[in-house]
Chain A
Amino acid sequence: MNPIIKHSIRFVLFILLQVFVLNTIPPLHQFIVPYVYFLYILWLPLGISRVWLLVLAFLFGLTLDYFTGTPGLHAAPCVAIAFLRPFLLKLLLAQETAEAGYMEPGHNSMGWAPYITYAIILTLLHHGYLVLIEWLQFGSFLYFMGKVAGTTAISLLLMLIAELLIPRREKQRAVK
């Protein structure tokens, strides 16, 4: 499938999933909010230009924000992880993979260990920034720490499930 069409469909699906499914689940606890929408940014192709990545992340976050009525709240962390993503990928990947155009970060293009490191670091950064903004408006330090920990745990669980459930057809990494 044409990558532009594929990623546009993903854009819509991730927004709908977050707004109409995950945000309507009755909360278990104040600290546990199932966020998985930013997986869209994690799954954008490796070869995408850095400026495009920033602009897409901003639009994506802002779209979600207009559904939840908080313009800027989700857009800011999305832009932040989109900015840091290329640096992290450069650290984690071998040179030849990093230059492979339309491949996406995933367990079959990167291997499980680097992919999970990548996911954990960006999830922590995203939630850390998101909850920090909330903390500046209200709440306490306990709220900040508890919510970052709880939300990161539930997000990683959901991302693992998504990774196992959704087969992303990728060319296998060339075994040498």
Chain B
Amino acid sequence: MRNILLFIQRYFTFICFLILQILCIVLLSRSSKSHETFFSTAANEVTGKVNQQYSGVRQYFSLRETNRMLTEENARLRNELTNNYIDTTSTQLVTTDSTQRDSVGRMRKYTFLPAHVIGNTITLQNNFITIERGSAQGVQKGMAVTSPQGIVGVVVEAGPNISRIMSLLHRNSKVSAMLKKDAVTGSLEWDGTDPSYLTLRNIPKSSVIKKGDTVLTSNYSANFPSRLMVGTVADIRSDSESNFFSLKVKTAVNFFNVQYVYLIENVRYKEQLSLEQTPPARQ
């Protein structure tokens, strides 16, 4: 017994070092798997508060740009209003509002929630965006996130008032995306080199692709609504050993100055996910 105590006394520093190293590795392996970390919600609230203060100052410098983007988006949405269209067979204006459409039998599947970005990194290999909206304001893990220009990422941690988004610029981020013209679907990833380019993999070589083709979110994603803007094809690389192209996609959203985002809630997200995760019953 005395020898054990002497041993501990002699190698106390080394034992401390080992304990702290093991703690780091445990934290690291747990966080990269599930993003539900040891006391992380409390810590996120604190770092969130600091981010909030800083972004309050920084926001003033980009007000002009933010306003321009929001007015552009407003104009685009106004152009899609039904009362802008005239029925060709009559001289009357067709006015349809959304409540009538719902009573016709259409169900709402997606709800949009606005949120203010208070923290954002682009220089690391695993980048996250922090927003000022949490589970108390309706945020859930797995919600899709889009900005006025294009998609941004997926919610991975929802604290009471602050949430963290895994940005598309994360080495583990994977989103199902398709080409607009022929709906061929591939998987959208980031290779860690340039924050304005993503990689779209698994596009078969049979499809005809040109530079500048639009890439949208696909119909197969559980959290993203289909046909949201992702970006445009910037470069086409064909792997000689496989039957697939890997396309370099210029992102529609500028990750350097994301200010406001929309969180998209799919009402049937949990239902779809639980069905997809259970193995099919034997027929």
Q: Is the CB of A23 within 8 A of B13?
A: no
B50 surroundings in chain A (CB, below 8 A): 67
Chain B interfacial residues counted at CB < 8 A: 44
Q: Is A47 an interface residue (CB 8 A)?
A: no
Q: Is the CB of B31 within 8 A of A54?
A: no
**Residue of A at shortest CB range from B256?**
A26
Q: Is B25 an interface residue (CB 8 A)?
A: yes
Q: With A54-B20, A76-B24 as known contacts, state yes or no: A137 contacts B121, CB within 8 Å.
A: no
Q: Is A46 an interface residue (CB 8 A)?
A: no
Q: Is the CB of A79 within 8 A of B17?
A: yes
Q: Is the CB of A33 within 8 A of B124?
A: yes
With beta carbons under 8 angstroms apart, the residue of B21, B23, B28, B194 that contacts A73 is B28
Q: Is the CB of B12 within 8 A of A71?
A: no
Q: Is B43 an interface residue (CB 8 A)?
A: yes
Q: Is the CB of A76 within 8 A of B47?
A: no
Q: Is the CB of A26 within 8 A of B31?
A: no
B192 surroundings in chain A (CB, below 8 A): 30, 138-139
With beta carbons under 8 angstroms apart, the residue of A27, A55, A58, A79 that contacts B122 is A27
B193 surroundings in chain A (CB, below 8 A): 30
Instruction: Give the residues from 6 to 53 in chain A that come closer than 8 angstroms, CB to CB, to chain B.
Output: 20, 23-27, 30, 33, 50-51
Q: Is B227 an interface residue (CB 8 A)?
A: no
Instruction: Give Cα distance in the complex from A134 to B192, angstroms.
Output: 12
Q: Is the CB of A69 within 8 A of B125?
A: no
Q: Is the CB of B13 within 8 A of A71?
A: no
* Interface SS majority for chain A: helix
Instruction: Give Cα distance in the complex from A75 to B17, angstroms.
Output: 12
With beta carbons under 8 angstroms apart, the residue of B27, B32, B43, B194 that contacts A137 is B32
B120 surroundings in chain A (CB, below 8 A): 24
Q: Is A133 an interface residue (CB 8 A)?
A: yes
Q: Which B residues are closer than 8 A to A by beta carbons?
A: 12-14, 16-17, 20-21, 23-32, 37-38, 40, 43-44, 46-47, 50-51, 54, 119-126, 128, 130, 164, 171, 192-195, 256
What are 8 residue pairs bridging A and B, where the CB atoms are less than 8 Å apart in the complex? A66-B40, A66-B43, A67-B50, A71-B30, A72-B23, A72-B25, A79-B24, A137-B32
With beta carbons under 8 angstroms apart, the residue of B27, B38, B123, B164 that contacts A24 is B123
Q: Is the CB of A27 within 8 A of B123?
A: yes
Range class of the A interface residue count: 20 to 34
Expressed in whole angstroms, the minimum distance between the Cβ of B85 and any Cβ of chain A is 43
A139 surroundings in chain B (CB, below 8 A): 125, 192
Known: A51-B12, A138-B192. 19 other contacts (CB 8 A): A25-B123, A26-B123, A26-B195, A26-B256, A27-B195, A30-B192, A54-B16, A54-B17, A58-B23, A66-B46, A70-B124, A71-B31, A72-B25, A72-B29, A72-B31, A73-B28, A76-B21, A83-B17, A138-B125
B121 surroundings in chain A (CB, below 8 A): 23-24, 68
Q: Is the CB of B171 within 8 A of A138?
A: yes
Q: Is A80 an interface residue (CB 8 A)?
A: yes
B29 surroundings in chain A (CB, below 8 A): 72
**Residue of A at shortest CB range from B44?**
A66
Q: Counting chain B CB atoms within 10 Å of each CB, which of A66, A72, A80 scores highest?
A: A72
Instruction: Give the residues from 71 to 112 in chain A that come closer than 8 angstroms, CB to CB, to chain B.
Output: 71-73, 75-76, 79-80, 83
B125 surroundings in chain A (CB, below 8 A): 134, 138-139
The 9 closest A-B pairs by CB, nearest first: A72-B28, A72-B27, A76-B24, A69-B128, A71-B27, A72-B24, A83-B17, A66-B43, A50-B13
